[in-house]
Amino acid sequence: MILYAVTDRRGLGVGVLEHVEALLAAGVDWLQIREKDLTARELFDLACAARRLPNPKHARILINERADIARAAGLDGVHLPSGALPPRLVREVLGPEAWIGVSAHAAEEVERAQTEGADFCVFGPVFETPSKRKHGPPQGLDRLEEACRAVSIPVLALGGVTLEKTAACRRSGAVGVAGISLFRPDSELNSRVERLRAL
């Protein structure tokens, strides 16, 4: 089970760096810094500060789209939105060891991401969630399964995923789950990560 936490400091109730520290301590596998409204300098400073935090499980730290900041801050890689530059071009900037993920909303996009050299895909929205309505109606578990079967790279489920729905995503072929609210900074974060890990 791969657990991929995505940051969004709006409405957190805590600072984003404090949230990142809590996520790393809780033992997520991958973490995406996704603070799209910050300036390049602010993102760079945040990325550098996140890189210096204790990381007991050696979680991979990625940043949303900004390959330049990933490289300058020494992060593990980037997460590319659907329609961004192809992974093969981003890899030319970051090098062969970089970890590159891609967001996908259809099986064809997942296949294209694999062809273009992505290391993994995040597929969604699988379930209804307000933050993903602009991408259309939920894809559902059948389309998640179709996407997972179409490629050999890891596919993670995103969008409306809860602790209770994670097992169904796993049965559909997802190697893990990604999300923002799933990894919210509350008193249950550590136990929720443990319960997810056990699924």
Please state, in angstroms and rounded to a whole number, the distance separating the CA atoms of residues 63 and 47: 8
pLDDT tens for each residue of 135-156: 678 999 999 999 999 999 999 9
Q: Can you give the length of the chain in residues?
A: 199
Q: What is the pLDDT of residue 76?
A: 98
Give Cα 145 distance to the centre of its chain: 19
CB atoms within 10 A of CB 172: 21
pLDDT in tens, 13-29: 789 999 999 999 999 99
Give the percent of the chain with pLDDT over 70. Answer: 98
Q: State percent of the chain over pLDDT 90.
A: 90
CATH number at residue 33: 3.20.20.70
Token readout for 98 is 């970089």
The rounded radius of gyration (Å) of the Cα atoms in the chain is 16
Q: What is the number of domains present in the chain?
A: 1
* Closest among 192, 187, 132, 177 to 4, alpha carbons compared: 177
Domain residues for the domain of 160 are: 2-197
Q: Reply yes or no on whether the pLDDT at 175 is more than 90.
A: yes
Cα-based angle 125, 88, 61 (whole degrees, multiple of 5): 60
pLDDT, tens digit (0-9, with 9 covering 90-100), for 99-121? 999 999 999 999 999 999 999 99
Q: Quote the DSSP letter at residue 182.
A: G
Rounded mean pLDDT of the chain? 95
C-alpha span between 166 and 10 (Å, rounded) = 24
Work out the angle at residue 191's Cα, subtended by the Cα atoms of residues 104 and 17, and round it to the nearest 5 degrees. 65
- C-alpha closest to that of 176 among 122, 117, 110: 122
Structure-token pair, residue 141: 């578990």
Which pLDDT band, with edges at 50, 70 and 90, does 199 fall under? confident
